[in-house]
Structure 1
Amino acid sequence: MNSIISCWTRSLLAAAVAIPLIIPVAAEAADTSPPADSVSVALNRIPAFPGAEGGGMYTTGGRGGTVYEVTNLDDSGPGSLRDAVSAGNRTIIFRVSGNIHLLSPLKIKGSNLTIAGQTAPGDGIAVLDYDTTIDSDNVIIRYMRFRLGDAHPTESDAFGLRKHKNIMIDHCSFSNSVDEVLSPYQNENLTVQWSIASESMLMSHHSKGRHGYGGIWGGRNVTFHHNLIAHNASRNPRFASDAGDTVDFRNNIIYNWQFMATYGGENIAANMVGNYYKYGPDTARSVRGMIRDTPSATSQWYIDGNHVDGYPDMTADNWLAMPDAPAAARLSEPVAMPYPIADESAEQAYTSVLAEAGATRPKRDSIDARLMNEVSQRSGRMLNSPVEAGGYPELLSIPAPEDRDHDGMPDTWEIQHGLNPVDASDSLLIGADGYTHLENYLNELAASGTSVNPAVNILTPEPNQLIQADQPFTVTADAYNPDSRIVSVDFYSGDKQLGRDTTAPYEYRWHNVPEGTHYITARATDDTGTATSSSTIILHAVGPDTEEPWTTVDIGKVGVHGTATAAADHMTIRGSGRYGEGDSLSTSQRRDDFSLTYQQLNGDFEMISRIDNQSRIDNNAQAGMMIRSSLEPDAQMAALTQSTVKYGQAGRFIHRLHPGDKAIDKQTEDFLAPGYMKLVRTGDTVYAFLSQYGKEWIQAGSVQLPGMPDTVYAGFAADAAAIDNDIHNYNTAQFSDISIRRLEHMPSVPDNVYGTAVNKGIQIRWAPSAEADMYTVERALIENGRYTVMADKVKQTEYTDQTAAVGQLYYYRVTAVNTSSSSLPSVPVSAAIASDEPITAYWALDDFEQDKAGSPPSGYTLEPAHPGTDEYHVLIGNLLNSSGNTTAPGRQGLILSDAGKETTRITKRFKEQTGTVILDTYIQLSETASYDRMLQLLNTPGGYAAVAINAGPEGFSYYASSKEVRPLGDQIPQPGQWYHIFVTADIASQTTDIYINNQLVAKKAPFMNKVSTIATFTAQTPEQDQGNLSLDNLSIHSLVKP
């Protein structure tokens, strides 16, 4: 049971007086604002604590307020951290150490609050699993850890605050975000000092795929000094662009960015002084000497004294360390700050930050100790998950010191300082230095010494070492601490402990190492209980090599040797490097560096396989099939792959026309794994086809490769989207249903296909195909949808569709046929019989009846990616029976399952539309919950919504703007009930009509956001509540002017 002591002094500057003891019934009863007659110590300009500097230095926090004791690690309830921050005017003291596993986001609601993490008895406090935000003013947070992690599929920051004032964050550790690690901006009078913002997860749950960003920092009179920003791809930080912002960014270490260190701040005035920029293994070579992007001419910057490690010219003149800074952005004198800090040189700050930054009291944990070693040694790497670095250490608790009056000060300390250990009122008395006795105790804890962390390094395996699976392997490590004795070294694969050794030399004999990629770490603990984790060493345990007719070869320069293992029903391919079209940070696009598992084939042939899965390493990592003219790095080639791309997954057709040319890449959106792919070689032409289920094939592309030899190298490849840095990732992909078929006398694909409207319908014409006896013509309403045979055994090279409806856009494709085989279908062409009315063009038309139950839908991006988790997934399934349908939906539908507090989402992309877009679907909710933005029409994935429809206990509603929600009729959605949703979105007028069960519930309602195009549909489950969402008979079409 926690004790809460509430008492306010009438005058904190008066002589010591007796203060009555008040114990409120519950924490919620505590007042949230200071009494009108209280006197703030801040009037005397007392800093928040000795060493508080910068914009937030005079934050008073919980000074003079109650004491709240956190006595447990529960998510909520009395004595929990969540309860502690629910009200203000408090100093929060910890009577326990350990990891707090949140069950939902944590919001700090109380103003005038101090969170004193240094009081935790033992190893300290870490807040895990959900994001934390400050939604209050006048807050001090010291010696706390906030690590989001990936236990739940969220797109959150680890920690954030916006539009607040008087905030002091000191000696805190933030890490493992999905979006940004730490994002304080649009605030006033704020300091973040001596803290760590690290290891945003590169590929986690973000809809954009790769993210991994440090933070957005900004505000008025804000200071960021003596912080470590490490292992984040970009935004280290990104400065906010609000006009009027004044930012002092000083004496920080920025380490191991990937493609951008610092950028932004388009309209602000800022100092970037005395910072230490040190590239790391992930940093692309092209940006190692660049400390920021080109400043905007509408901003003002004083940039001086920054050390650019390894680049003496940029260190001597910082303006050389950014591209073409305009004269208007350059200041010759620093931006004047109200509370300037006592700064030091970048080189001095480097030493200071490594020694003191982060939650170092009561002790630095093994994660932060590892980070400091990695900065010092230029080692480490970015993470996709905290599991890759050994997971989160257990933070041990010891008995809290006795505090009989529960005033936050231990009895022994009170006695030593002449105070009464059974009189809580003396905690608020003012000492000679202007601080209360409670503050002086907290400040002494912060100033006390702490144990030196040990050092530990993995000796074996070597980085990216390949070993034979199911065989033994010995992991070894070196550990030492000059100030204490090592008592144990624990070995981990991911976050699973393998074993422990208590005597040097430290080793673990791992028997029967399972096949796969293993993230190996060691954690050394000394006799003070202080621990350090090693950097991760990646070990790959692979199966036996494939046998004839397959051969695996490394082409170009690869970081890890490629391997392939064949089983009875599948083949596993592993590879590093990159092939095909790259990005601005990749190696040359005129050559490939990867591994190929191939056969030599001659003549015409067809290869088909199903890609079952591949590693989620980075955006554009890919796996698939390839045909090459040679094994040279710059050879002609054509490849068909499945890849994670920004905002989803895609099929990619990549080709190089001539040796040494740049590769060309064409994407087919929303192609998922598992899915089928087909490559066909006829003469010097290669055709590529995709099919989600191996039935309906769509052409992903074709290319003529001039002079391609008769004998080619055909097979499988997986790359790891390598960029030009020192990191070598390893992609593992599995293929099944592999078949290779020789093609004899196959007709050529019909070419020059086109369609025109004629008097009796739509006429399709094409050029004659070699070796064709006749042709088959097919039609569909969607380009990549299901095609229906309209005519077969067509002898001529034309066909007229007399069943085409006026005003409907159709897609046609033609296949050539002879007695031996048939050709591949032609590229679809569209045609319509025009009228005075707009033409209808479909982009989705799914009843899900012909799809296999338990499979993912074709043509959609899923979040989380298939197969998802037990709690969150998207599958085609049998629909629940329900009553009251205007038109009963079919037997099967699309089910978005959500059994937790995160979101399951589908996204459908289509061509940009500028006319009218119509959404027509049936939906069913499983729970009475708040389905915010349940259905949306947007301009782009993750972009601006034109229409956003909600459902919840209060009824259906829509967003009339980003800040205004209006009701849609008076129906209250009932679980299990089906509802017919019909939406017309008119881009020209920026308005929408919405119908529910054929009743008009919104007429010419304004768009949520102004958009010039609509090209995306999303459906999603609740963000904070659990609840499934089922859809059926889903169609999206547009009305196009003829």
Structure 2
Amino acid sequence: MHQRLQKFTISAIFASLLATTAWAGPHPADPTKGGANGRIIRVTTLAKAGPGSLAEALAAKGPRTVVFEVGGTIDMGRDTLEITEPFLTVAGQTAPSPGITIVKGGIDLKTHDVILSHLRVMTGADGQAKLSGWEADAFSTVAARNVVVEHCSFLWALDENMSASGPRFTGNSVAEWRAGTSHDIVFRENIAAEGLANASHPKGEHSKGSLIHDNATNITFYRNVWAHNVERSPLVKGGAQVTMINNVIYNPGHRAVHYNLMNLEWGGHDYVTGEITAVGNVMRGGNDTDPGLPFLMLGGDGDLKYFGKDNRAVDRHGNPLPQFGRYGETRARLITAKAPLTDISRYSTLPSGEVETSVLQTVGARPWDRAPDDIRVLFFVAEGRGDIIDDEKEVGGYPHTVATFAPFVEADWNLDTMTPKSGRYPGQKAGPQEKLSSRDATMRQP
């Protein structure tokens, strides 16, 4: 009886969401408009490269919005898509069902003024031997700026699932260092889950959520879910500046949020104090979470300035966990701030007690048309289930979708927000979305 009541409650939540929520469009705090007012480029094939491909659209020059007249899986064959041309919007919401999923690869974004929406990236080990050297991120910025990554699903990375990176030291001053690496990046409503642990990364265990590299600044995480990653939800490196609002961290292994300026990496350079503002976040332990794991841990030699408010941390039984802890015997200091270190007034902030229900409703790619693995991850978070994995085969392996096709009709879309004028998205489903077996589906019939 309890299990049936729990499933009904979850279903009711999703049904309420589907009736009321819009899933795309600009936010007043966004640092860019991407490819707004540029030309429309249509993706018409699932081939990894060539005419009509996503790769060709990404490589095009000038302001542009990429739309999709095809849905299905793009197999990158262990290659990484690189985005090097600025003023780009990629609108995965325009694809026919089941949307666009990139497998056996990832995305490296190396430019500025880009918006990525409603894509799925499922990197995976692809049969590579342990420690063999295949170490792709699902997504990373590389010395990029003015970027919005929203409503994407990043699973099964060999390095990080969702990161902001670049060189530590470009130039001769702190201002030049920060200008030369990633800055002004917004991660909003994304899933970063199931980073592969003991897989093909040459360093060994590497189930990691998000890395914010040294001196990256104005990095915002708003309403994301990290699930089943050993560490880095996120890891903030030396001198970086990060804001976290209303995120959910589920089943972290050895660390959840952590800061570490490593002397081994900063030798010869003066340390820069890092900054984290964390408001209304939720961390919940799972099957793999170390007992007593704190919400925030401090390691390394450099100091961290920190403002925290209304952050919840509980174990898998609902017992409170510490807000702060350390790893390593170092001289790093936690400097507590009395006010937010960034302007958080630009974002609507929920009380932490409301965050999990709200975020699970809207997070990830195409919430109106969820992929089976997104449904599985989110329902496992809600149910307190799931584990850190070593290989995508442990949870069923890569999706096998059939290509679908539908024309993109410009007159049907608000091109300034990339939302459908009808209010109905391609493939939108009514009612709750659950991953049901044939038997379960039969039992749901009236």
TM-score bracket relative to the smaller structure: 0.7 to 0.9
| Alignment of 1:249 onto 2:226 | no
Write 1 or 2 for the structure with the bigger share of strand: 1
Q: Please say if 1:349 is aligned against 2:349.
A: no
1:538-617 matches, cutoff 5 A? none
Equivalent residue for 1:1024? none
Task: State how 1:760-909 maps to structure 2 within 5 Å.
Answer: none
In 2, distance between residues paired with 1:203 and 1:374? 22
Q: 2:43 aligns with which of 70, 90, 100?
A: 70
What residue in structure 2 maps to residue 236 of structure 1? 233
Contact 2:160 2:209 in 1 (8 A): yes
Say yes or no: does 1:366 pair with 2:369.
no
Match of 2:192 in 1: 197
Once the two structures are TM-superposed, the CA of residue 176 in structure 1 deviates from its matched residue by 0.5
Tell me the number of residue pairs that the alignment of Structure 1 and Structure 2 aligns. 380
Asked whether the equivalents of residues 196 and 358 of structure 1 are also in contact (C-alpha less than 8 Å), the reply is yes
CA contact (8 A) 2:71 2:405 kept: no
The equivalences for 1:141-156 within 5 A come to 141-151=116-126, 153=128, 154-156=134-136
Contact 2:260 2:302 in 1 (8 A): no
Supply the distance in 1 between the matched residues of 2:258 and 2:424 (Cα, whole angstroms): 35
Distance in 2, Cα, partners of 1:445 & 1:247 = 37
Q: How many Å apart are 1:323 and its aligned residue? A: 4.3
Distance 1:329 1:151 in 2: 44
Q: Are 2:192 and 1:179 aligned?
A: no
Contact 2:68 2:408 in 1 (8 A): no
Match of 1:129 in 2: 104
Unaligned stretches of 5+ residues in structure 1: 1-48, 404-408, 415-436, 458-476, 480-485, 487-502, 506-525, 527-1042
**Offset of residue 220 of structure 1:** 1.7
Match of 1:956 in 2: none
Counterparts of 1:445 and 1:271 in 2: how far apart (Å)?
38
Match of residue 294, structure 1, among 293, 298, 301: 298
CA shift in 2, pair 1:117/1:297, >3 Å: same
1:411-560 alignment, distance < 5 Å: 413=412, 437-442=414-419, 444=421, 448=425, 450-451=429-430, 452-456=432-436, 479=440, 486=441, 503=442
In the other structure, the counterpart of 1:227 is: 224
Partner of 2:57: 84
Give CA deviations for 1:616-642 in whole Å, capped at 9, x if unaligned: xxxxxxxxxxxxxxxxxxxxxxxxxxx
Equivalent-residue separation in structure 1 for 2:122 and 2:188 (angstroms): 18
Out of 323-332 and 249-258, give the one that drifted further: 323-332
Q: Is the 8 A contact 2:121 2:155 kept in 1?
A: yes
For residues 941-966 of structure 1, the C-alpha deviation after alignment (integer angstroms, 9 at most, x for no partner) is xxxxxxxxxxxxxxxxxxxxxxxxxx
| 1:909-943 Cα shifts (integer Å, max 9, x gaps) | xxxxxxxxxxxxxxxxxxxxxxxxxxxxxxxxxxx
Q: Which has the higher helix share?
A: 2
1:387 Cα deviation after fit: 1.1
User: Does the residue aligned with 1:178 lie in a helix, a strand or coil?
Assistant: coil
Kindly provide the amino acid, as one letter, of the partner of residue 394 in structure 2: E
**Aligned-residue RMSD, C-alpha:** 2.8
| Structure 2 residue matching 1:260: 3-state secondary structure | coil
Correspondent of 1:112 among 76, 81, 87: 87
Which runs of 5 or more residues in structure 2 are unaligned?
A: 1-23, 129-133, 166-180, 262-272
Counterpart in 2 of 1:94?
A: 68
Report the Cα distance in structure 1 between the residues aligned to 2:435 and 2:189, rounded to whole angstroms. Answer: 22
Q: Which amino acid aligns with 2:308?
A: I
> CA contact under 8 A between 1:128 and 1:146: conserved in structure 2?
yes
Match of 2:5 in 1: none
User: Could you give the per-residue CA deviations for residues 594-634 of structure 1, whole angstroms, max 9, x where no partner exists?
Assistant: xxxxxxxxxxxxxxxxxxxxxxxxxxxxxxxxxxxxxxxxx
Question: How far 1:240 sits from its partner (Å)?
Answer: 2.2
- Kept in 1, the 8 Å contact 2:91–2:418? The answer is no
Q: Indicate the structure whose relative CO is greater, using CA pairs within 8 Å and at least 6 residues apart.
A: 2
Q: How many Å separate the matches in 2 of 1:371 and 1:178?
A: 18
1:262 paired to 2:257: yes
TM-score using structure 2 length? 0.78
1:328 positional shift: 5.0
Question: What is aligned with 1:792?
Answer: none
Residues 1:291 and 1:388: Cα distance change in structure 2 (over 3 Å): same
Q: Which residue of structure 2 aligns with residue 971 of structure 1?
A: none
Of the candidates 161, 164, 171, which is equivalent to residue 141 of structure 2?
A: 161
> Cα deviation per residue 1:795-828 (whole Å; 9 max; x = unaligned)?
xxxxxxxxxxxxxxxxxxxxxxxxxxxxxxxxxx
Using a 3 Å threshold, how does the CA distance of structure 1 residues 71 and 333 change in structure 2: closer, same or farther?
Answer: same
- What is the CA-CA distance between 1:366 and the residue it aligns to? 0.5
Alignment-derived partner of residue 322 in structure 1: 325
SS of alignment partner, residue 206 of structure 1: coil
Distance 1:385 1:445 in 2: 41
Shift of 1:146: 1.1
**Residues in 1 aligned to 2:83 and 2:423: alpha-carbon distance in whole angstroms:** 22
Match of 2:383 in 1: 377
CA contact under 8 A between 2:103 and 2:124: conserved in structure 1? yes
**What one-letter code is carried by the residue in structure 1 that aligns with 2:296?**
R
Over 3 Å counting, the alpha-carbon distance change for 1:367 and 1:230 in structure 2 is same
- State the SS of the aligned residue for 1:84: helix
**Following TM superposition, by how much is the alpha carbon of 1:282 offset from its aligned partner in structure 2, in angstroms?**
1.2
Point out the structure with max Rg over C-alpha: 1
Measured against aligned partners, the alpha-carbon deviations of 1:748-784 in whole angstroms (never above 9, x if no partner) come to xxxxxxxxxxxxxxxxxxxxxxxxxxxxxxxxxxxxx
Shift of residue 455, structure 1, vs aligned partner? 4.6
Identity %: 26
**Contact 2:260 / 2:298 at 8 angstroms: preserved in 1?**
no
Q: Secondary structure at the match of 1:354?
A: helix
Matched, 1:388 2:394: yes
Higher mean alpha-carbon deviation, 232-241 vs 388-397, is at: 388-397
Partner of residue 168, structure 2: none
> Normalization by structure 1: what TM-score?
0.35
